[in-house]
Amino acid sequence: MSLSIGADSVAIYNLEKGITQYNITFFPEVSIYDNSTKEIINSLGGIATAFYNTDKKLNVSDLYKEYYLNNLKLNMVDKCTNNETIQADIYTIFEILYDCIDTNKKYKNNLKLNIKFNPELKKQFSKTFSNQLTEQAIINSVGHRVTSILSMNSAIEQNFVIPYSKDQKITGVLKRFSDTTQISIKLPSPDYVIDTELIGFKRIIKNEDKDQIHSLYASGAIITVLEPFSGTILFKSKFKNIQEKFEPITMKSLNENQKLNSFYRTISFLYLDAFSNIFAEKPNKKYFDKYSYSDFKDIKVMHKLLKNSIN
């Protein structure tokens, strides 16, 4: 069994009276592998969040130690908690995810997620973020987030969502603070691939007053589901998503950390909504008419083909 944090992020906000708020998001993953073949046979990811307020300036590694070593509580809500919010330390969350895995289940298909940026988004990011934050690092973080979202989708629970990793290594969650032995393990071959191309991200300030601003966060992606051996496309459409947020006036200008975390948050909503509708029992005309660029007649044909293939 492998326990890991697939991705993590900390959004930092300066509040009143010298208080700093750290908004923490972890994406814990539990994977079970065959000890003889070293191939993953089951896996499940989740999302855990917390708000940490302090009058001290902390670096991220010190903050993570508070949660890894001192067992501070995180919030978690998904199908493994019966859609109720619970508070638990990271190790209890790993136990919850493990208990949620049906180790005897035989999956019908393996689904693999691929993510890339289009050229224009690459240019935008190279101008926005420092050289220390590479494009591949951002893609990997998005990949782990979206895989967690996908693995929690009950509409495709008869399919195994392959963990997002090109070079999976088993390490303890304390790998940041101690040396651990690494064991190379293999990912299973996919029966179907979900190819996604991120094509845009933008923040627009709609209006403001002396206390707050009304922000719109827009994002877009092309999502394609295909059979990798034949190249047969089962579903393909371009999607958009708009999130509204009312924010304090101090967030009119975002620093690099806040821009990155707003991107992660917006992209997560984009994929959550898109996957919920792509893999739904029936296509929702209201959603696809508003957020997809494809004609709904074509959506219905693709949706039926996809459903008959993976279910």
Condensed to tens digits (0 to 9), the pLDDT of residues 226-244 reads 999 999 999 999 999 999 9
Return d(Cα 239, Cα 74) in angstroms, integer: 32
Helix-helix angle 135-151:119-128, to 10 degrees: 110
pLDDT at 286: 96
Structural domain for 250, as ranges:
2-310
Looking only at the bridges linking them, the beta strands covering 20-34 and 48-54 are: antiparallel
Number of domains the chain is built from: 1
- What average pLDDT score do residues 183-209 get? 89
Look at residue 71 and tell me whether its pLDDT is greater than 80.
yes
- Kindly indicate the confidence band of residue 169, based on its pLDDT and cuts at 50, 70 and 90: very low
Average pLDDT, the chain: 86
pLDDT digits (tens, 9 = 90+) for 269-293: 999 999 999 999 999 999 999 999 9
136 pLDDT more than 80:
no
294: left (phi over 0), alpha (psi -120 to 50) or beta: beta
**What CA–CA distance (Å, rounded) separates 173 from 2?**
9
| pTM score | 0.85
- Please give the Cα distance from 62 to 70 (Å, whole number): 11
3-state secondary structure of 61: helix
Residue 189: φ, ψ to 5°: -70, 140
End-to-end Cα, the chain, rounded Å: 28
Which helix H or strand E contains 6, and what residues bound it? strand 2-14
Residue 172, pLDDT score: 41
What's the burial of 167, exposed, middle or buried (CB within 10 Å: 0-12/13-18/19+)? exposed
Provide, rounded to the nearest whole percent, the portion of the chain with pLDDT above 70.
92
Distance CA 4, CA 170 (A): 8
Residue 62, token pair as written in the block = 């010190």
pLDDT at 166 over 70: no
Higher pLDDT, 299 or 150: 299
